[in-house]
Structure 1
Amino acid sequence: MSVFVILGLLVCIEAQGPSAVTTVFVKKGDDLILNVDDVPEKFLIVDWKFNKMVVVVFAPGGGRSVIPDFTGRIEFPVKTFSVKLKNLQEADSGVYAARVATLQGDKPLAEYKVTVQGPVSPVELTVDSVDSVVSRSSDSCNLTVTCSTQHSHISSTFRCVSGTCSQEGGERSELTTSGASLHVYLLYGAIICNHSNQVNWTEDFKRIEPFCPQYAGSEGSSAGTSVYLVKMVVFSVGLIIMVSAVITVHLMEKFKKHK
């Protein structure tokens, strides 16, 4: 049966409703397996579409056809009717849907919304200005920073007063032109600049201490010290338990010998 006859049958059969959509993010250059389940034993056609264009057709008896544009770009795993997309690029982003045609009607099998993303570009954090004020009542230090990529940037101000640092207006984030997220925030005495999408991330950071020595690390030092103390306590307790176990075994063996 030719592909054209198969496509004609598909057009003539009535659809029975949409299937659940699975969202998938894939790193550029990676492969992706699209699975199907619950295919009836008796069928006319099983096909895969990319953005409503038929790209693969399975016929009864094991025959299958791939359109020329996808030849060499699709493999067939062991699982029947599943497909493996090779070396995905941004242009391969879209909706991939499988359906089965029977004498009783047309039934959707699976639908995937695939987004192919490349690695994000490097990010740079720069300190634009530092304003320190020392007085009898209180000391303060303001830092204005810019978190930037090649085509996007966001700025934010961090204020330290009486040993406590905070980000004015809260964390700053925005979507870049490529759909990635640019994010700047405060964490453990450091300002973090993060550029990320669903498959990749890069970041840059600067400690507050070199710019505001009297305040820097007030949050980070306490947090870091707490983590360090917890680790030391756990290590010490574990060591005591191990030594106690060795001594107990040794004493029991010694007691058995003299019994």
Structure 2
Amino acid sequence: MTDVVVKITIGTCYYDAEPKLGENFIGKVELSCPASLIFTSPQTSDCGVYSAQLTGDRIETIKYNVTFQDPVSPVELKLHVISDSSCKATCSTEDDEVIDTSLSCDNKSCHLAGGERSKVTKSGASLRLYQSNESIICNHSNQVNWTQSKKQINICVRSEGSTLQTTLIVVAGIIVAGIIVAAIIGLLYCYIKKKLCFAQRQTGSSNSQTLPQSQANGDPRVIPESDRLMNGNTAESPV
């Protein structure tokens, strides 16, 4: 805020005549005593206390405490759904002034429940969140102008149908996830079982006996063990 500075007298007001302005204020202000003082091209540097003399049967001094403000910036209102029964409203300005509040909701409507609903900004403006019927309104204002943003509460309201739909989606997701897990376990089981069967076949093959190459080819020089035993018994038998 600009510091209040005492200015020189603007001019003189008369009960039965037009006001007379000082030379420094001609073309700059419009004076209508005793209540009105209008600056034609106001600047923030013009803030301060001005005075005018009211002349008539008696002389009085009229003071005007003048404050100028820049127009307020636009605001942005956002609604965030937190759960089926609550919502959050956030109101912010371009110069990073923020307030937020929570809303409690049922299947029909919402109402403001808690949080910061208003504040005075650094520039002296008012920033406020409030509810009007089925709308949430963010208002930014000062003595010069105001801006606002409005949203319908039904963005936050959860109907019974939407709640049921959400529940069905969750259940379907769980079922699909269960099927996928079961399929993965089945594939792993089959893979492990196949590996074990293959290993058993390999072990059986390594333990089996293989005929000598000469016997397999029918070499007459190779005499089977059974024939040798028979020949030995024949030689030892008495005539």
TM-score, normalised by the number of residues in structure 2: 0.51
Whether 1:74 and 2:29 are equivalent positions in the alignment is yes
Give a deviation string over 1:35-57, Cα, whole Å, max 9, x none: xxxxxxxxxxxxxxx82423446
- For residues 51 and 167 of structure 1, what CA distance do their matches in structure 2 show? 45
CA distance in 2, matches of 1:115, 1:173: 22
5 Å-filtered alignment, 1:1-259, equals 51-56=6-11, 66-68=22-24, 70-75=25-30, 85-99=39-53, 107-127=59-79, 129-133=80-84, 141-151=85-95, 152-161=97-106, 163-169=108-114, 172-214=117-159
User: Contact 1:132 / 1:212 at 8 angstroms: preserved in 2?
Assistant: no
2:11–2:53 CA contact under 8 A, matched in 1 = no
Equivalent-residue separation in structure 2 for 1:58 and 1:163 (angstroms): 62
Name the larger-Rg structure: 2
Q: Separation in 2 of the partners of 1:90 and 1:123?
A: 23
Deviations 1:159-214 (A, max 9, x none): 11353422113771101111111011122121111111123111111112233242
Match of 2:232 in 1: none
**Residue identity matched to 1:51:** V
Partner letter of residue 66 of structure 1?
A: G
**As a proportion of its length, which structure holds more strand?**
1
Would you identify which runs of 4 or more consecutive aligned residues in structure 1 move more than 4 Å?
61-65
1:94 shift after superposition: 2.1
Structure 1, unaligned runs of 5 or more: 1-49, 134-140, 216-259
Contact 1:171 1:185 in 2 (8 A): no
Instruction: Tell me: CA distance 1:209–1:65, structure 2 relative to 1, closer, same or farther (3 Å).
Output: closer
- Contact 1:75/1:86 (CA < 8 Å) preserved in 2? yes
Point out where structure 2 has 5 or more consecutive residues left out of the alignment.
161-239
1:235 corresponds to: none
CA distance 1:108–1:52, shift in 2 (3 Å): farther
Rounded Cα–Cα distance in structure 2 between residues aligned with 1:63 and 1:131: 63
Deviations, residues 94-131 of structure 1 (Å, cap 9, x unaligned): 222223589x9x9433222222233211000012x312
Percent of matched pairs sharing the same residue = 38
Q: CA RMSD, aligned part only?
A: 3.6
